[in-house]
Amino acid sequence: MLLSLSAVPAWANVDSLQLDELTSTEVRSKLTAGNTTILLPIGATEQSGPYLALGKHNVRVHLLAEQIAQKLGNTLVAPVLAYVPDGAVNPPTSHMRFAGTISIPDATFEAILEGAARSFKQHGFCHVVLLGDHGGYAKNLDKVAQKLNREWARESSCRVIALQEYYRLSSAGFAALLKKRGFSDAEIGIHAGLADTALSMALDKNLVRSDAMARQAKPGVADGVTGDPRRASAELGQLGVQLIVDGTVSAIRAEVRAAK
């Protein structure tokens, strides 16, 4: 039985920007052709209330990184890092108080980032861009970038960029945009509220359990929620997507120019 073209797996596409969908030979060819920037998307596996999937950060940063790489040019996207520091395990704190959250120690997280960045440099990537979709580990990204940039300063022009602008745009930047449209801070929220939910809807509707959201009265902190998602929509979320992609591309270009 012959397979239809639709049955050909995504990783058969030599033009993919996703590192793990390419062969080693294809990656080498892309590096030779000048694709020397790589985005390392970092998500989280954590609770987001009764109606947002645990992998919300992972899916979002994967899809946003793809759009950023397409617009940036000469850029590939590494596999998403889904395990991050997210509270003490025993006794549980922060998001670890809710079922399904996965948390790893800071030192382990930083070692993974460092090992990945060293691997990319070894293969010929000159700019390793850390894109964090969660604000809780921003200090870890900065720490790793500073360490490696000090170490690499004398031997090459390669550098690690802990791009905090990406998270700023997805949080404070998107919130400011929503406020201009008349939404309140209390509604926009900072976790699983209007902004968080709308952005998830725009990128992958399967991340949101609309029925669970509709059945429940305004959720609160006890549910793992800070904000009110009930007026969220994919249309509002798309405004955030555009803001994040355009702003991140501009920020990366500025960082790369500064590194030359």
pLDDT at 20 over 80: yes
Structure token pair of residue 9: 């797996």
pLDDT at 218 over 80: no
Residue type, 7: A
For residue range 131-158, list pLDDT tens digits in order: 999 999 999 999 999 999 999 998 778 8
pLDDT at 1 over 60: no
Which residue, among 131, 136, 141, has the nearest Cα to 244 in the 3D structure? 131
Separation CA 136–CA 86 (nearest Å) = 7
Separation CA 43–CA 150 (nearest Å) = 26
User: Which domains, ranges and CATH numbers included, belong to the chain?
Assistant: 5-259 (3.40.50.10310)
Quick check: 14 and 22 in contact, CB under 8 A? yes
Residues found in the chain: 260
CA geometry: angle 193, 168, 144, nearest 5 deg: 120
Confidence of residue 181 (pLDDT cuts 50, 70, 90): very high
Q: Where are the alpha helices (DSSP H) in the chain?
A: 24-32, 56-72, 106-123, 138-152, 164-168, 174-180, 185-188, 194-203, 210-215, 234-259
